[in-house]
Chains A and B, each alone.
Chain A
């Protein structure tokens, strides 16, 4: 079901799009209808009270009691309708929240990695959690408020018009004025609040920074300077919120006073009309009741625009993310190549976020079963090259061949099924067993233990009372860097893919442990194609060929002896290694 046309005018495009993902559901329609019913009951009360006052003056006890019970009856109708509406609209909001989150998450799982480079994961999480809440509030409370306000307004003004047209005009005019003021106030407050919230972000960021670097600030003895910088952000935040307070102080009481202007007008003009016999006292009392009710409607409409602004801000951020996430690497192919493939890069270039090249015009053939080592300086582009071979990154220029055939963009994902990365050891908050079995959840305990042995990770489990059932904690925080590296390596070995990508797999290990890992890799992964990035000479033992990278370009390719003879930067590097 699509949203009705009428909503298009009232709802900003972003919000419409997000709500479009949820669809108009029965809960929303039924809930809104119930709110109208509750508004009818609500509005009936002042009318009935007016009737009762007239009966009082006539002295009719029986009618008085009957009408009074009518008030209770209207109350019962309102209560049942309100309760039902709260439940149905609430259910709609919960469904909407779940649906938006699910769509977002699926989109993010498939999105291109550029998206992840552009923003930290915490921000992505905020889109799917914090930003969903204002939208939920808007659809549950907002739909209710809109229906309630419109219902009250329509019913109340109709009754008032039936009593006296002129008096209605008088009573309604402060209400119209207050709606205008309300919107103006809302606009200013939103701006001021946004500014204050920006400052709040500054305070949080400065605090985070300083806590992260507490030891550094301590060791430089610069606490006083840092404290002064933090206090500046706190003062700016103070000023921001006081600005919001100032607006509240001006507009809040003004809006509070306006209904009394209506009341004064009703008293002055309506009172005279009663004295002149134009309307009854009961009708006057009804009017009196409604002018109070209209003030409530104006406040509610103000609240509705506030909710709407919050929801549309959130929706804007969600839509922006959805659009960015549109650019997607295709789903991984289900089939797995039976043999070790050859992977070729020709003239591949990849740009960094700043536009500087991470890889420039790189051509390289990785033959089946060989071991290629990448060496170079810190920013030479080794990690990027591994990600291209892994099928995680699409080159900005150039092609990637698989067994001699160029891969279409959409097919790059096939590379992912062929290769397994042993990265810096990013682990999940699961057990050691589950982390190693991450790529093959169905692996048996024996298979997991075998992979661990081949990665020299068996001793990580052996050293702990719970063995392979040890929980590694958030991001593997319960393990040391070297332990995480080895678990990550075991995870890559277990999936048994034909290409193994080794990204500085021994950097956090001391020389004896690093050597052990390399020995076991040499024995345990024969026949596998291996591509490894390293700063350490020891890792070159495994290499058939060595690729020297410099600032994203391939400087030379060859065996150790060839490179020593032909590549001066490599020779220089080897000389430095020899000094160690």
Chain B
């Protein structure tokens, strides 16, 4: 119990911190809430006065006086309620907008290692769903609840002012309602949790089978999935019915309690009226106040679930914001100076998990302005090796320099702009072709774009798109073919004008003709740049100035093509294997 209270207090403190930049607006809202709640309490009291002093006594002046008070109170209520509603919506949305921006900015500084172990859907959920849960808490709990609590307290005070004895008699409804709600909460919570699982299973099944519909259909498995879905759908239905069964009792009890309360007030208060101890209007007003108690009470039950959901969302958001970037700039880091682009690795050792070594004591020089190829089997560590150059990951031992400067001594932005990557799965952002290319060089002119695309043989490809450079590429470039995506990504890389170029399997999804065209264009545009190439196709490798053979993270051979072929080692056998079936085919 105490732990729960402390937790709720903790959530409140965090919420306050979230909202604290708008203290003045909050204060204004608080004033508006107090005034509007107070004004809304006036009518039943005024009605009692009107009945007892005006109607029962036949005094029309007193009746009219009550009417004037009523009208003033209602006008005051409308004005302050308007102010309160608007201000609270503004503050809540303002705070959440800045929280969204903060989460996004934080995501940007986190390292690739973080993205490796996170799922995109999960991270997006922090910015959308979790922030919205908080929104419910902020606007629902903080603002409405303040009003609700105030009106609860105000109503109770009004009841005690009207008749303390009668108020005490009516109050038993409180503990009774709380017990009912507590029982409901205890019964319902695990059942609700269960439905989250069952509906999750339904969605997961839908996504998996509809996402692979071609497989389902080719293998004729429609009936199996019809049955499988039917089972999950029925399980979800049962889980939901389990809630409906207990809702039956709860909604009944919560309807019955007020009626019993009114009955008790009528009998106890009525007897007092008959004895002449109480006026009729007071009983009527009392009943009106009493009935008002229930709406806030049910809202309070919702508060508990808002609190637990909002608290859970806060935890998740905080966990993300507390995530420290694995790779940070050293204090006093300087921008990387422009140079010829020689990359040197000395005794570099790296492991993703601290247990299995992926790169083992690599000593490699990537000569400036030359092509270095890295070859090896699947899983030899080729991609990992090159991603260390940009400090996407940090070696456990050894150091990497560019033109003699340790990569850890330069600013991350300058380092990453100096080293560019072209990958097999190119990433485009949704938006137009132009926006994607301009990402590399925001102020490039259309002529520059055309020129770059033309060099890559991509101008015709772009012109064939429905809106040319203004064609929307779709999420992750979905609307384009792999060939089109690759050309656009390459144009972007070239415009970025990096000193060091890394081509990681970037043509393996392409046919040999498209590949040849792109390679020839790259030769023209990138002559004299440092290039590092990873490829399964050994044709590309043969033209390299320097070749590094990796096996299980170790460099086992280095040299140029002729030297390595003469040596007759791992490289020579890779070449032979790759030629074997091709020669057979021809």
B171-218, CB < 8 A from A: 199, 202-204, 206-218
A550 to chain B: closest residue by CB: B513
A138 beta carbon closer than 8 Å to chain B: no
Provide the B247-277 mask, 1 if CB < 8 A to any CB of A, else 0: 1110111011011101100110011011000
Instruction: With both chains docked as a complex, state the minimum distance between the C-beta of B124 and any C-beta of chain A, in angstroms.
Output: 5
User: Within the complex, what minimum Cβ distance (angstroms) separates A141 from chain B?
Assistant: 12
A219 touches B259 (CB 8 A): no
Contact for A215 among B251, B392, B439, B586, CB less than 8 A: B392
B442 nearest CB neighbor, chain A only: A225
Residues A281 and B55 in contact in the complex (CB < 8 Å), given A216-B427, A219-B416: yes
- Closest residue to B212 on the A side, CB-wise? A426
Closest Cβ of chain B: how far from A432's Cβ, in Å? 16
Q: Report Cα–Cα, A577/B579, bound state, in Å.
A: 10
Q: Max chain A CB contacts within 10 Å: which of B112, B199, B211, B243?
A: B211
Interface size of B as a range:
35 or more
- Which A residue sits closest to B510, measured CB to CB? A378
A102-B229, A253-B85 known; A220 and B511 CB under 8 Å? no
Inside 8 A of A507's CB, which chain B residues have their CB? 508-509
- Determine if A28 is an interface residue (Cβ-Cβ < 8 Å): no
* B256 and A75 contacting across the interface, CB-CB below 8 Å: yes
B28 to chain A, nearest CB (A): 13
| Interface stretch (choices A8-16, A152-160, A226-234, A302-310) | A226-234
> CB-CB contacts of A244-276 with B at 8 A, as 1s and 0s?
111011101110110011011001100110110
Contact code string A386-399 (vs B, CB < 8 Å = 1, else 0): 01001010000000
Residue from the set B83, B217, B225 with the largest chain A CB neighbour count within 10 Å: B217
| Among all A-B residue pairs, the 3 with the closest Cβ atoms | A75-B259, A245-B89, A580-B539
Inter-chain contacts of A577 with B (CB < 8 A): 512, 539, 582, 586
Cβ proximity bits A502-528 to B, threshold 8 Å, 1 near / 0 not: 000001111111010010000000000
| Cβ contact of B578, chosen from A84, A275, A392, A580, cutoff 8 A | A580
**Residues A105 and B206 in contact, CB atoms below 8 Å apart:** yes
Residue pair A256, B81 in contact (C-beta under 8 Å): yes
Q: How far is the CA of A284 from the CA of B284 in the complex (A)?
A: 11
Complex Cα–Cα for A573 and B127 (A): 49
B56 within 8 A of A: yes
CB of B199 to closest CB in A, whole Å = 7
Do B128 and A204 touch across chains, with their CB atoms under 8 A apart? yes
Nearest-Cβ distance from residue A184 to partner chain B, whole angstroms:
17
**Chain B residues, Cβ within 8 Å of A57:** 280
Beyond A102-B230, A121-B211, A221-B417, whether A377 also contacts B427 by CB under 8 A is no
* Alpha-carbon gap, A376 to B513, bound state (A): 8
Which B-chain residue is minimally distant from A501 (CB atoms)? B218
Instruction: Tell me the minimal C-beta distance from A572 to chain B in angstroms.
Output: 7
**Closest CB of chain B to A211's CB: distance in Å?**
5
* A124 in contact with B206 given A220-B496, A379-B483 (CB within 8 Å): yes
Given contacts A125-B210, A417-B220, contact A72 B215 (CB under 8 A): no
Known contacts A64-B266, A69-B263, A378-B483: A208-B120 contact under CB 8 Å = yes
Given contacts A83-B252, A268-B63, contact A511 B85 (CB under 8 A): no
Q: Return the contact of A378 from the options B43, B392, B481 (Cβ within 8 A).
A: B481
User: What's the least CB distance linking A132 to chain B, in Å?
Assistant: 10
Specify which chain A residues have a CB less than 8 angstroms from the CB of B67 in the assembled complex. Answer: 264, 267-268
**A537 on interface, CB distance cutoff 8 Å:** yes
Q: Is B378 an interface residue (CB 8 A)?
A: yes
Q: Is the CB of B421 within 8 A of A109?
A: no
Q: Is B24 an interface residue (CB 8 A)?
A: no
Q: Is B237 an interface residue (CB 8 A)?
A: yes
Q: Which residues between 503 and 558 of chain B lie within 8 Å of chain A, taking CB atoms?
A: 508-516, 536-540, 542
- Which A residues are CB-close (under 8 A) to B112? 214-215, 218
Residue of B nearest to A253 (CB): B81
A377 x B214 contact (CB < 8 A): no
Chain A nearest CB, measured from B291 CB (Å): 8
* Pairs across A and B, CB under 8 Å, 5 listed: A98-B233, A249-B82, A423-B214, A513-B378, A577-B586
Q: Which of A219, A227, A421 has the most CB atoms of chain B within a 10 A radius of its CB?
A: A219
Flag if B105 contacts A227 (CB, 8 Å).
yes
Q: With A and B bound together, what is the CA distance between A248 and B413 in angstroms? A: 46
Bound complex: CA of A511 vs CA of B518, how far in Å?
22
The segment from A85-93, A161-169, A341-349 that touches chain B is A85-93
